[in-house]
Structure 1
Amino acid sequence: MDATTPFHFAVWSLLVGLLLVTMALAGSLLRRLPLSMTMLYLGAGYLLGVTGFADLNPRQDAILLERLAEVALLISLFGAGLKLGVPLRDRRWQLPLRLATVSMLLTVAGVALLAHFAAGLPWGAAVLLGAILAPTDPVLASDVQVAHPNDGDTLRFGLTGEGGLNDGTAFPLVMLGLGLLGMHELGDNGWRWLAIDVLWAVSAGLAIGALLGGWTGRLVTYLRIRHGEAVGLEEFLALGLVGCAYGLAQLCHGYGFLAVFAAGLALRRFDRPDADADIPAVPALPDHREAVATDPDSAAAYLKHTMLSFSEQLERVAEVVIVLLLGVLLARLDHLPPALWLIPLLFLLVRPAAVWLGTLGLRQPPPNRWLIGWFGVRGIGSVYYLFYAINHGLPHDLISPFVALTLLAVAASVLVHGISITPLMQRRARRSGGTDSP
């Protein structure tokens, strides 16, 4: 069927419109139930694929799918950085840093060992599969992320920081897997990979994002307070900062994902780095908003608030699009991969063990460790790395099993984590009395 005909465009418009209206009307109800909006998007996408109203080919449409996942990640990573209001010297940062580095490496290693010795994949393919499946998701895991910049819950902070960081820290391991498959230059004894893909790309991405985010915040607030200029259009400013951070980092051979996350984090921290002011409520009248935006006592907080609000709204739209497409792709799977057993092992063994080992020495109560280990939500990051690998020369015979394993892992994560998030977090809140000490 041709989805470009007026009839099919009308059907698409009706279905997407109904889905968005349902999201708006039933969002508060679903938050009290062991369900998530993401599960509804996934089911709707699957129905669109099964009925033939939408058709995607993982090989032919790989570039489009990579770009869509990339844009969704950039929006979410910027928002994740803006949400983290904890000072950089705070010891709570130890948890996400450990999760995004040590636990990430252990997860990739665990998946690679299973894929090589039990599934028979060559080492390059095994490492690449581990790197694709290892990142946790800053988009689909919104229910276990910080609710606002002053949220002091260490579990939510750790998962939010991990989701923001590990989409960048997984990139060197993706390049390592591609290099072991002969699709990327690693250099003699891996020195080029270590120097360029690890040390330079990570540090350049973080530095570029931090500088652009901090400078942008200072420049805009200076213009607003001193001259009454550059007021409004925070949406353009947010998108422009994301584009500049990502583009400049990529041109400098740094990791754009880390740059965008660092830009959001630096924008959050540029004013009063040791304590966030209460973000003012946005007044209803435009002239009042301009007064708040140019007031020295509220200009910085207002800027952060409006950019975060816009990024959160855009993130919800991106989630709808990507998960719908994921459902359509699932409908095209014609067989289950032989290594399907790898998915439950990832959720139940590899991720929890990697979290437990990676957080040794940190003052985390056992219930927190188990919840962090369980809430390793897989999502758009895995989809992006899958299609990045396809577009950068993944061998033809590996495409089908990699597509099936990745899509099924993300779908399984949407279902099992979507069902378990609400009851587990409610139980945790009851046990802790609604609070969590840093």
Structure 2
Amino acid sequence: MISDPLWFLLVGGLLLFMGLTSSRLKRLPVTSAIIYLSAGLLVGPTVLNLFHFNPLKESALLEVLTEIAVLISLFSAGVKMPAPVNVKRWRTPVLLASVSMMVSIALVAAFAYYVFHLPLGACVLLGAILAPTDPVLATDVQIRHPGDHDQLRFTLTCEAGINDGSAFPFVMLGMGLLGLHEVGETGMDWVWLDVVWATLSGIVLGLVSGTLLARLIWKIRGGQQSRDLMDDFLGLGLIGVVYGISVLINAGGFLAVFFAAVALHQTELKLASVIRHKQQRPKPMPATGIALPEVKILSVADADKKGELEETGKSTDPADTVSESSLVFKEHLERLSEVILILLVGGMLFLNSWSWRAVGLAFFLFLVARPAGVLLGMLGSGSSWRMRGLTGWFGVRGIGSLYYLMYAIQHGLPEPLALQFIQLTLIVITLSIVVHGISVKPLMNIVWRRRRLPEKAVQ
């Protein structure tokens, strides 16, 4: 294991490098995750062997780190959702996070059963670990900000936000078939508790919590929204409270946090629109009934303050929402966790970690299981074949898979299976970072160029 000074030197040096060269790195045709992975492979056992992180011995620590990273990423994804929960807009992402994911789990389980000759429970568990797309590493194909209405980005972001939670019941099913979790004699305990209860209670808990917090914030701030609050603490506090309650009542914690962020942001937007409408509403004259705009008389101090705000480019409108104000901090935490965890992935890999079994599984997942699941999930959606193809390809695997693997290890996964799953999962994540990281920017640039052509033709 690397010493503390060297670890600080490694992470600090990489952060300085990324911070100083960020403008140039954005022009590169690869994602930042590839740079982090390259650094991890360089200093890890693969090349220089300066440090080695043992995921089996450090599974408890790695479970906590990946859990925190996924929760922060899910909150960030939920805040950036440009549309409230409704059937028409959310239909495709929900089908991708349910139907497509189940198809992917089934295909990976079948591959592991017939090619690796693993027990059925282990095959289901492996499929569930590798099924969810990742909200941490897929930032280049996700919504950039709450006003981003790109359909492809919305679909991929929403799917990643949901399927990290919807995969959890299948992790429990695989563990149940291995005798590590109670599923009932006929499996009905699993159906009612791990599927129905966990899913519905997680969604309801998230929606209710986010809505209540938004209304409480606006009540405390008052009609003019003039009182300052610690937005970053509110966002982190919501994550902690919602996830803590969900664990206590066996609800779907990842679903709860994602939908809490969605509800918080959408409720704040509704309340803000109400306030703006009241401020802009004309005030009728009592005698004639003629509507005239309301004129606010400013004191000298208010006028000076207003002029100062306008000169500095600051808005005099009501304060930004808590969800948007805390988003920058959450994204910084998300990037920091990405740096650390991808470095650790590089520090877990040896040269002999690579095998045809692991590489074959990875490309079966990328080229067969994921595309087949997406095609079935998007049947009848009316989406173009290009949209379906891009959605099928951009199924990045990463930190979410690592979390589920550590969760299974911490709950009694036998060591021989754990060692196999660690090798397979790490290779899948590594290849996903590489092949998706190389292809995402060129493909997205092609998409945007094709979209601009009709706009120029119209002009």
Gap change, CA 1:230 and 1:203, over 3 Å in 2: farther
Preserved CA contact (<8 Å) 1:224 1:294: no
Equivalent positions of 1:256-295 (< 5 A) are 256-273=253-270
Displacement of 1:230 in angstroms is: 6.2
1:20 counterpart = 2:15: yes
Gap change, CA 1:157 and 1:276, over 3 Å in 2: farther
TM-score (norm 2): 0.86
The answer for the alignment partner of 1:390 in structure 2 is 409
The answer for the alignment partner of 1:308 in structure 2 is 327
Gap change, CA 1:2 and 1:155, over 3 Å in 2: closer
Equivalent positions of 1:294-373 (< 5 A) are 298-299=318-319, 301-331=320-350, 334=353, 336=355, 338-373=357-392
Give the Cα–Cα distance (whole angstroms) in 1 for the partners of residues 411 and 154 of structure 2.
Answer: 34
SS in 2 for 1:188: coil
Give the Cα–Cα distance (whole angstroms) in 1 for the partners of residues 44 and 146 of structure 2.
Answer: 39
Preserved CA contact (<8 Å) 1:220 1:230: no
Displacement of 1:228 in angstroms is: 7.0
TM-score (norm 1): 0.90
Unaligned runs of 5+ in 1: 280-284
1:94 counterpart = 2:114: no
The answer for the alignment partner of 2:296 in structure 1 is none
Give the Cα–Cα distance (whole angstroms) in 1 for the partners of residues 226 and 346 of structure 2.
Answer: 45
2:451 maps to which of 429, 432, 437: 432
Residue deviations 1:308-327 (CA, integer Å, cap 9, x gap): 12211111111111111111
1:107 counterpart = 2:104: yes
Q: Which amino acid aligns with 2:202?
A: G
Give the Cα–Cα distance (whole angstroms) in 1 for the partners of residues 382 and 364 of structure 2.
Answer: 27
1:215 counterpart = 2:212: yes
Give the Cα–Cα distance (whole angstroms) in 2 for the partners of residues 67 and 338 of structure 1.
Answer: 29
Gap change, CA 1:244 and 1:384, over 3 Å in 2: same
1:139 maps to which of 136, 150, 170: 136
Identity score, percent: 47
Give the Cα–Cα distance (whole angstroms) in 1 for the partners of residues 273 and 454 of structure 2.
Answer: 20
Preserved CA contact (<8 Å) 1:228 1:294: no
1:406 counterpart = 2:425: yes
Preserved CA contact (<8 Å) 2:234 2:322: no
Displacement of 1:232 in angstroms is: 3.1
Residue deviations 1:16-72 (CA, integer Å, cap 9, x gap): 222112222333333332211111111112223223433321211011001100000
Displacement of 1:302 in angstroms is: 3.1
Displacement of 1:221 in angstroms is: 1.6
Equivalent positions of 1:124-203 (< 5 A) are 124-203=121-200
Gap change, CA 1:130 and 1:244, over 3 Å in 2: same
Displacement of 1:225 in angstroms is: 2.0
SS in 1 for 2:50: coil
Gap change, CA 1:324 and 1:91, over 3 Å in 2: same
Preserved CA contact (<8 Å) 1:96 1:158: yes
Gap change, CA 1:322 and 1:288, over 3 Å in 2: farther
Q: Which amino acid aligns with 2:206?
A: G
The answer for the alignment partner of 1:55 in structure 2 is 52
RMSD over aligned Cα atoms: 2.7
Unaligned runs of 5+ in 2: 277-305
Displacement of 1:218 in angstroms is: 1.1
Give the Cα–Cα distance (whole angstroms) in 1 for the partners of residues 81 and 390 of structure 2.
Answer: 20
Q: Could you tell which deviates more after superposition, 309-318 or 95-104?
A: 309-318
1:78 counterpart = 2:98: no
Preserved CA contact (<8 Å) 1:49 1:332: no
Gap change, CA 1:90 and 1:152, over 3 Å in 2: farther
Q: Which has the larger radius of gyration?
A: 2
Displacement of 1:276 in angstroms is: 7.5
Residue deviations 1:265-322 (CA, integer Å, cap 9, x gap): 0111113449979x9xxxxx9x979xx9998x523x4322211122111111111111
Gap change, CA 1:58 and 1:14, over 3 Å in 2: closer
Give the Cα–Cα distance (whole angstroms) in 1 for the partners of residues 51 and 245 of structure 2.
Answer: 35
Q: Could you tell which deviates more after superposition, 119-128 or 165-174?
A: 119-128
Gap change, CA 1:116 and 1:303, over 3 Å in 2: same
1:32 counterpart = 2:27: yes
The answer for the alignment partner of 1:282 in structure 2 is none
